């Protein structure tokens, strides 16, 4: 079987796509690839200054790209709500919601505007609330997809249902692992719920392996030291989430990632996440907790 690349992506003309965290790294490269395939892309970014530079880079790479910029701070549920309301108001469809943005390893424990630990609040709860509030468009769009960026870090993750915000014994590495396990539990549970209600949409997870992106700046000396030896380019790191978003053979509920060097690099294939990520009861409990924390419910 040949390696999957952007050459395998079908034409995306007429498709409306949101990419969160589109201002750099994997999100930026995914945006460029989607624009080259004629998609209409909204780059959802927290920082408009950085976003504007990224938008210029996209237009430079793809003259005539159908791309726009919008403010979305996933660490602020008010910003999430405002973005979703504006997008639903201005669009009649949403073919792909690419939940790509993320934060990793803050130097100390930080919290979101609503007081959630920064990594679970941004990586999981922000995207959970965003997806819920975009469901009216997703349900209206034939063959829609929700794709979320997980990480190899989920392998050591655990969901602290009684202390999800790490108010006791904070460990930034384990807090990140928890948020990435939460991404997987959410996507698998979302796909089960979509299928149970016969909604014509799929939820699929991906991970970029170890890629040279801005996230690596906060990952610690040893990881930064060895990243050039292990890591692949952001362009390669974008392939799994692009495959999750566009491969028409996928059924929903898959996990796409590199298969080389223990999953750290290589071309994207269907891979397996850890046993805990497939725990249906844990996924349900996390779902209920997430709705309670965000105050947002999914209206299927």
Distance CA 124, CA 183 (A): 6
**pLDDT of 218 higher than 50:** no
> Is residue 151 one of the residues assigned to a domain?
yes
Indicate the pLDDT class of residue 259, thresholds 50, 70 and 90.
Answer: confident
- 37-57 residue pLDDT tens: 999 999 999 999 999 999 999
Q: What is the pLDDT of residue 234?
A: 85
Cβ-count burial 40-65 (b if 16+ within 10 Å, e if not): bbbbbbbeeeebeebbeebeeebeeb
- Which residues face 203 on adjacent strands? 146
Indicate the pLDDT class of residue 222, thresholds 50, 70 and 90.
Answer: very low
> Is residue 296 one of the residues assigned to a domain?
no
Query: Which one has a higher pLDDT value, 200 or 264?
Result: 200
In the residue annotation, 176 being an active-site residue is answered as yes
> Is residue 34 one of the residues assigned to a domain?
yes
Q: What is the pLDDT of residue 260?
A: 62
Indicate the pLDDT class of residue 263, thresholds 50, 70 and 90.
Answer: low
> Is residue 272 one of the residues assigned to a domain?
yes
> Is residue 298 one of the residues assigned to a domain?
no
Q: What is the pLDDT of residue 219?
A: 47
Q: What is the pLDDT of residue 221?
A: 44
What's the average model confidence in pLDDT over 260-285? 87
* Range of lowest pLDDT (68-72, 76-80, 223-227, 235-239): 223-227
Indicate the pLDDT class of residue 196, thresholds 50, 70 and 90.
Answer: very high
- 85-126 residue pLDDT tens: 999 999 999 999 999 999 999 999 999 999 999 999 999 999
Residue 72: domain span: 6-291
Average pLDDT over the chain reads 93
* Whole-number percent of the chain with pLDDT over 70: 91
> Is residue 117 one of the residues assigned to a domain?
yes
Q: Indicate which CATH number applies to the domain containing 175.
A: 3.40.50.720
Q: What is the pLDDT of residue 16?
A: 98
Among 105, 170, 176, 278, which one carries the catalytic annotation? 176
> Is residue 76 one of the residues assigned to a domain?
yes
The 66-71 sheet, strands edge to edge? 66-71, 40-45, 16-20, 96-99, 144-149, 201-206, 255-260, 265-270
> Is residue 297 one of the residues assigned to a domain?
no
Query: Which one has a higher pLDDT value, 232 or 130?
Result: 130
Q: Domain count of the chain?
A: 1
Q: Is the distance from CB of 45 to CB of 71 less than 8 angstroms?
A: yes
**pLDDT of 138 higher than 80:** yes
Q: What is the pLDDT of residue 230?
A: 64
């Amino acid at each position: 079987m040949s390696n999957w690349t952007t050459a395998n992506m079908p034409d995306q003309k007429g498709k409306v796509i949101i990419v969160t965290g589109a201002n750099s790294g994997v999100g930026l490269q995914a945006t460029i690839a989607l624009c080259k395939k004629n998609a209409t892309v909204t780059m959802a970014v927290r920082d408009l200054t950085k976003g504007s530079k990224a938008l210029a880079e996209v237009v430079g790479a793809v003259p005539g790209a159908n791309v726009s910029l919008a403010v979305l701070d996933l660490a602020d549920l008010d910003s999430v709500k405002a973005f979703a309301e504006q997008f639903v108001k201005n669009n009649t469809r949403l073919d792909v919601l690419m939940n790509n943005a993320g934060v990793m390893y803050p130097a100390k424990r930080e919290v979101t505007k609503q007081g959630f630990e920064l990594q679970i609040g941004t990586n999981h709860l922000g995207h959970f609330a965003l997806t819920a509030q975009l469901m009216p468009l997703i349900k209206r769009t034939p063959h829609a997809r929700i794709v979320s960026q997980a990480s190899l870090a989920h392998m050591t993750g655990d969901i602290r249902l009684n202390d999800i915000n790490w108010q006791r014994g904070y460990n930034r590495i384990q807090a990140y692992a928890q948020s990435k396990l939460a991404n997987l539990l959410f996507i698998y549970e979302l796909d089960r719920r979509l299928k149970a209600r016969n909604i014509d949409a799929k939820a699929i997870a991906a991970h970029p392996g170890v890629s040279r992106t801005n996230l690596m700046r906060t990952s610690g000396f040893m990881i930064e030291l060895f990243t050039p030896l292990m890591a692949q380019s952001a362009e390669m790191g974008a392939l799994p989430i692009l495959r999750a978003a566009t491969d028409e053979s996928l059924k929903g509920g898959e996990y796409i990632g590199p298969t080389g060097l223990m999953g750290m690099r290589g071309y994207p294939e269907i891979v397996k996440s850890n046993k805990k990520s497939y725990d249906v009861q844990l996924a349900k409990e996390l779902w209920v907790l997430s709705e309670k924390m965000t105050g947002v419910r999914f209206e299927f």
